[in-house]
Copies of this chain bind each other. A is one copy, B any other.
């Protein structure tokens, strides 16, 4: 851990007291609001600011955390699963905040506008768009160029096949599918890039609120794919951007 090493070397050189070193090692880049500890260190450690999952927080809590992250201005800021009430509170504090109603997300642009890539987002059906758009927005806000191919479920396979050439151009492919989730296996079998499956809760009965496509994607007979939580468009977009970045030659491990 070179930063630990640096701290220690500064102690050895008499430039830092043991007490101060201890404090630094304990991670001073944390802002404590009582109900939340904002991890401002995350930009340095993981390359992107803490993302705020607004569900389960009060609008006031979400808004304050988002505003403080925006105030830092170190990277774009993202709040997911946010309602309009939360957004209104944020806009009061951060006038240039944007609201994206389909994925229900709040964005504050504070990072570079450069986009690398690309990340391809597929959706099996029209009902999966909410999740697909959360994935697309997340990857985009983090810095990936995003392409979309929607409503290409396996019931009409030719809809998918006619787009397969375009799909193969991407560095990483996100497949968003409810019902039985078969689209992920079919896509993974046709391309040679990493595929991230996002099961959705779209369906009824034996679909079990998304457990069935989740299990189905996990037991896929096609290697080269992996799965995130049900309806977790955010997680898929985040991971896709990380992989996309690797492909760009952005290898640097930020913190050490």
Contacts and interface: CB of A to CB of B under 8 A. Distances in A.
A232 B165 CA distance: 30
A237 to B, nearest CB: 9
A53 B128 CA distance: 13
B4 A221 contact: no
B37 A152 contact: yes
A239 B215 contact: no
B249 A249 contact: yes
B42 A194 contact: no
B165 A256 contact: yes
Interface string A1-18: 110110011011010011
A56 B154 contact: no
Nearest to A232: B205
B179 A157 contact: no
Interface in A140-161: 150-159, 161
Given A4-B25, A129-B35, A156-B41, A214 B205 contact: yes
Interface in A16-60: 17-18, 21-22, 25-27, 30, 34-37, 39, 41-42, 45-47, 50-51, 53, 55-57
A217 interface: yes
Contact of A126 (B36, B162, B207, B242): B36
A168 interface: yes
B46 A224 contact: yes
Contact of A253 (B57, B168, B219): B168
Interface in A164-203: 164-165, 168-169, 171-172, 178-182, 185-186, 188-194, 196, 199, 201-203
Interface in A110-163: 124-127, 129, 150-159, 161-162
- Pairs of residues from A and B, 6 with the lowest C-beta to C-beta distance, nearest first: A205-B230, A56-B127, A27-B158, A26-B162, A182-B182, A226-B226
Interface of A: 1-2, 4-5, 8-9, 11-12, 14, 17-18, 21-22, 25-27, 30, 34-37, 39, 41-42, 45-47, 50-51, 53, 55-57, 61, 124-127, 129, 150-159, 161-162, 164-165, 168-169, 171-172, 178-182, 185-186, 188-194, 196, 199, 201-232, 234-236, 238-239, 242-243, 246-247, 249, 251, 253-256
